[in-house]
């Protein structure tokens, strides 16, 4: 497989604040190899290492996408939600950006049932069912549909378990990581200085609080997936 050059620029990463970690009191000692300095009580991540792992992750998702593998991107905190949705839609990936429902992957049969219900309600709405309902019933119908859209909108076309899950903020999405580990699903995690770097298949040390930092990492991964998809279509 031809490797791409992902144009991961250290200067751009600095501008995006990728190197800023958490306060030194809030760190996980396992992150020591990825930290280059302390500044004003904050750990500074070694961007050369971040660039290496991000490049490795881009290679992995490019290869997987070029073989038609399926991706799920998860980031439910407010700062990440819009970025996750736009990157996933651009790269034609599934995504969860509002709330992770426990067992979404490990209890896939329940998720499938919920997705079927969601599809049925959407089809009923398209066929004009709302016009035939009383005001009260229409309100209940809309509320049900809106709730399902919030939680399942990003996975509405998912027909089976994903091959790779990309997680923004390991601490926030720990349940997602656990489900992937149980099922043997490959994971790529954005990890800050308070995380355990040994849990995901590829951990990318980076600031998981700044929007610019999250955008930088997610955009690179989404671009690599897009390139892989193009290669799959061309060769498929």
Q: What is the 3-state secondary structure (H, E, C) of 176-193?
A: HHHHHHHHCCEEEEEECC
Mean pLDDT of 204-214: 96
The pLDDT mean for the chain works out to 94
Pair 90, 119 in one domain: no
Pair 58, 35 in one domain: yes
Relative to beta strand 71-74, strand 164-168 is: parallel
User: What CATH number is associated with residue 130?
Assistant: 1.10.287.610
Least confident of 1-10, 71-80, 81-90, 124-133: 1-10
Q: What total of structural domains would you count in the chain?
A: 2
Q: Is the per-residue pLDDT at 221 higher than 60?
A: yes
Pair 79, 176 in one domain: yes
Q: How confident is the model at residue 236 (pLDDT cuts 50, 70, 90)?
A: low
Pair 171, 219 in one domain: yes
pLDDT-above-90 percentage for the chain:
87
Name the 3-class secondary structure at 45. Answer: strand
pLDDT-above-70 percentage for the chain:
97
Residue 5 domain flag: no
- pLDDT (tens digit per residue) in 122-138: 999 999 888 888 999 99
Q: Is the per-residue pLDDT at 1 higher than 60?
A: no
Residue 2 domain flag: no
The reported pLDDT for the residue numbered 196 is 95
The reported pLDDT for the residue numbered 2 is 44
- pLDDT (tens digit per residue) in 140-150: 999 999 999 99
Q: Which domain holds residue 117?
A: 108-154
Pair 58, 167 in one domain: yes
Mean pLDDT of 161-174: 96
Residue 206 domain flag: yes
Check: CB of residue 167 under 8 Å from CB of residue 71.
Answer: no
Residue 94 domain flag: yes
Pair 58, 165 in one domain: yes
The neighbouring-strand residues paired with 81 are none
Q: Is the per-residue pLDDT at 223 higher than 50?
A: yes
Cα(1)–Cα(210) distance, integer angstroms: 34
Residue 4 domain flag: no
Q: Is the per-residue pLDDT at 192 higher than 90?
A: yes
Pair 192, 98 in one domain: yes
């Amino acid at each position: 497989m031809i490797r791409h050059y992902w144009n991961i620029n250290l200067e751009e990463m600095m501008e995006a604040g990728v190197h800023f970690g958490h306060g030194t009191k809030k760190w996980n000692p396992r992150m020591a190899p990825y930290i280059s300095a302390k500044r004003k009580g904050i750990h500074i991540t070694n961007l050369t290492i971040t660039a290496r792992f991000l490049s490795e992750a881009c290679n992995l998702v490019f290869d997987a996408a070029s073989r038609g593998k399926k991706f799920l991107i998860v980031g439910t905190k407010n700062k990440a939600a819009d970025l996750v949705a736009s990157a996933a839609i651009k790269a034609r990936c599934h995504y969860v950006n509002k709330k992770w429902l426990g067992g979404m992957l490990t209890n896939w049969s329940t998720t499938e049932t919920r997705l079927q219900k969601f599809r049925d309600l959407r089809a009923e709405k398209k066929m004009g069912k709302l016009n035939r309902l009383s005001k009260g019933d229409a309100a209940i119908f809309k509320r049900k549909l809106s709730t399902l859209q919030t939680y399942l909108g990003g996975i509405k076309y998912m027909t089976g378990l994903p091959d790779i899950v990309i997680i923004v903020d390991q601490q926030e999405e720990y349940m997602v990581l656990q489900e992937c580990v149980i099922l043997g699903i490959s994971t790529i995690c954005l990890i800050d200085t308070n995380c355990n770097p040994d849990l995901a298949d590829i951990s990318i040390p980076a600031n998981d609080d700044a929007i610019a930092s999250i955008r930088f990492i997610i955009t690179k991964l989404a671009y690599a997936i897009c390139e892989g998809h193009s290669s799959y279509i061309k060769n498929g």
